[in-house]
Structure formats: structure tokens, C-alpha cells
Amino acid sequence: MTPARPAPDFTALLSDRARRMTASAIREILKITQQPDVISFAGGLPAPELFPVEAVKLATDAVLTRYGPAALQYSTTEGHPPLREWIGAKARIPAANVQIMTGSQQALDLLGKVLISEGDTVLVEAPTYLGALQSFQPYGPRYVELPTDDGGIDVDALEELLKTTSAKLLYAVPNFQNPTGRTLNAERRRRLVELTGHHGVLVIEDDPYGQLRFTGEAAPSLYELGLEYAGDVNANHVIYCSSFSKTLVPGLRDAWVQAAAPIVSKLVQAKQGADLHTPTLNQMIVTELLEDVLPRQIETVKKAYGERAALMLGHIRQQFPGGVEYTTPEGGMFLWVTLPEGIDSTRMLERALSRNVAYVPGSPFFALGGGENTMRLSYSSATPEQIERGVAALGETIRGALD
């Protein structure tokens, strides 16, 4: 064998963009929490036992029979026309304003690519969805954090910030936010849309969980309010992203964006460079499931998550010591715990793991750091027995950290 040549200096050869990418803190944590005995509230995965496996099998067969080779051929970047039409009809907008995406994660990446230049100010909730920070980060944004409480973004603080920062973009998860489970209330939604519209700030509304409301009243989406504000689908400053990942299955990677024509046409160009189109067969399968399976699946998932959330909240009430605060989600998959000041949830994780329970420390969800005493708990894929034992173990761990 010839002696190995020295490796290129890969680090020096990376792009500035790649240098801005960081390993997801959560991914590292999830590796530890996937030990077999650990009850994990960390993952945040949809419940796999609820997936409509048989229906997907039948739909795949039906689609291949109906379309034959066309189901396996390249297709248009914008997406499978019947799927776009269905989404457009639901939103009461033309199908031309709907762009199919390979997961809403791709929507976030491509929106970052077409909207964020290095140094642009991007407003994000504190805390916010870590995956959005990861998507935007390579494009070099300057983050400004918006304070939040149980009603979502503090719109008074937003109003002040808009006077002093030249923000370009606001990213928000208004329904059952990942990571907090909180929902932006109806009154604040209106003000947020008016304030951003007035200041010429674009809004990305990321809404993968909106259909999964198990209690309370739905508020209008920012996108709908943006339509009202603008009076024209192609003047709406709100860009809406949603997905079939949480309502149907995540593995087909089918999601979409609703936006004004100039944004859609840029996304088409960006998507051509990224993956040409979302897999044809997957889009056809999802389309096949829209009328019957999807509404039933949403009911099934809502019921299960509602029961699991109520169970987790009940045990938290009984098992967590005083001084611990937590959110009460009305839908979605997550709740958010704030421990007494001084407890560091990252340091506490090791002790929780020794009691065979895991969570995600809250700090990585803050664009500008902080939140060391917070953590995210997911109830979506835990059994009642796991919820009971896991919350009890977590209660003991917190009490131990308080001593």
C-alpha cells in the first residue's frame, strides 16, 4: 500500500456559510436519550403507532395503478397540481400561490436563502424553533429576540423594537409553539400583522401544529389576517408554511408554502437548485389520502395527544415541587417547564438520565442564549405508564437539584 497522502485542510476549504453551521445541540442530546431503558420526553416525534400504515399502502397501490410510470417520473418544481389545488381551495387562494416543499424544514431553508442577506435583522421569539435557527444561520442573520409570555409574542415590545431596529423578517410559530406549546392570542395576532405590515417587515408563519388543537378556540392565522390587511393575495406580507408531517406522517416529507407570487417564483428557482421537486410518488400518495384518511387521522392524533397532555399535566401538578412553572398547551406536542432560577437543566440532565428519564434543555432554543433553567417536554409519543413513571422521576430529579 502506498503511504497515505496528507488530507486537505478541509476546515480551511469550507465556505463562510458552512462555517456558520453548528451541530444541533438537540441531535447530540437525543443520541444519549435513545438508550433502551430511558423514558424520553425529549424526542418530539409524532406517535408512530397512530400512523395510517394500511391506508398508505392502499394509496400507494392506487396511485401506481392510476398513474403508472408518471408516478415515478420527474415532475414540476411547483408541485403535484391536484395537491396544490386542494391546499389552495382550503386557504381560499389560487393554487398558483401554493408551493409544495420537501418538509417545512426545506421551506425554512429556502426562505432563508431567498430572504436573508448577511447581516439582515431577523426577529424571532424567545425561545423559538431550533430548526429554524439552524436553517437561517448559514445565511448570516442578526437575530433580535422578541419577549414572550403565555399569550405568545409581547406585541408592545415588538412595537418598540420595530421603531428602533430595521428588521426585515419576523419568524413565528403562532400555534402550540415548538418548544413552549404556547399560542399567540387573537388580539396580538391582529396587532402583529398590522405592525409588521406598517413597517414593511415580512412574516414567516410556521404552522405545522395548527390542525392539532385539542381544546379551546382557534384564532385566525397570521396569513389570513395578512390577506385581510393587504386586500390581495399577492400583496400579503405574511408567508405561511405548513406540513403533513404532524397530521399524516413525517416520512413522506410533504409540506407547503402559501405566499405572494414574487416570493413563490423565487422559491421555485431556489427549489430547482435544491431538489428539483418534492418526490412525485409521495405527493400523489398524500393527495390520495386528503379526503378520507387525513380528517380521520387528525381526529385520532388530536384525541391521543389531548389525553397524553392532560395526563402529563396531571402528574406534573402532583409530582413537581412548588416554584416550578409550566405551560398548558391547547394542542400540539410540547410543554415548557421553567425551573427555579439557579437550576441548570443541561447540568440536571445527567441526573435525570440516571433516573431513566430524558428531556431537552431549553437553552438551545434561545437565539441569543439564556434560558438555562428551562426545558421542553414532549408528550406525543409516550405511553400513559411512561408518562406517570417519567414525570415522577423528573419530579425527584428536580427536588434533588433544589436541595
| Contact status: 181 vs ligand PMP (CB under 6 A) | no
Q: Which of 131, 220, 279, 370 binds ligand PMP (CB under 6 A)?
A: 131
- The nearest distance, CB 198 to ligand PMP, in angstroms, is 26
Q: Which of 243, 258, 380, 397 binds ligand PMP (CB under 6 A)?
A: 243
The alpha carbon dihedral of 131, 133, 134, 139 has a sign of positive
Stretch that binds ligand PMP, among 13-21, 102-110, 297-305, 385-393 (CB under 6 A): 102-110
Distance CA 236, CA 226 (A): 5
Pick from 252, 174, 261: nearest CA to 220: 174
Whether residue 176 contacts residue 330, with contact meaning beta carbons closer than 8 Å, is answered with yes
| Contact status: 105 vs ligand PMP (CB under 6 A) | yes
Pick from 183, 192, 241: nearest CA to 212: 183
- The nearest distance, CB 168 to ligand PMP, in angstroms, is 20
- The nearest distance, CB 72 to ligand PMP, in angstroms, is 23
Stretch that binds ligand PMP, among 97-105, 275-283, 313-321, 376-384 (CB under 6 A): 97-105
Q: Which of 46, 79, 88, 103 binds ligand PMP (CB under 6 A)?
A: 103
Q: Which of 97, 221, 236, 245 binds ligand PMP (CB under 6 A)?
A: 245
Cβ proximity to ligand PMP, 90 vs 347, nearer residue = 90
Segment 154-173, which members bind ligand PMP (CB under 6 A)? 173
Phi-psi region of 308 (alpha: psi -120 to 50; beta: other; left: phi over 0): alpha
The amino acid occupying position 356 is: N
Please identify the residue of the shown chain whose CB is closest to the bound ligand PMP: 103
* Residue 265 DSSP SS3: helix
Distance CA 397, CA 41 (A): 14
**Residue 403: exposed, middle, or buried by beta-carbon count in 10 A (0-12, 13-18, 19+)?**
exposed
DSSP string for 341-390: TT--HHHHHHHHHHTTEE-EESGGG-TT---TTEEEEE-TT--HHHHHHH
Cβ proximity to ligand PMP, 94 vs 131, nearer residue = 131
| Contact status: 136 vs ligand PMP (CB under 6 A) | no
The amino acid occupying position 8 is: P
Distance CA 107, CA 362 (A): 24
| Contact status: 178 vs ligand PMP (CB under 6 A) | yes
Number of residues that bind ligand PMP (CB under 6 A): 13
Cβ proximity to ligand PMP, 93 vs 252, nearer residue = 252
| Contact status: 247 vs ligand PMP (CB under 6 A) | no
Where does this chain bind ligand PMP (CB under 6 A)? 103-105, 129, 131, 173, 178, 206, 208, 243, 245, 250, 255
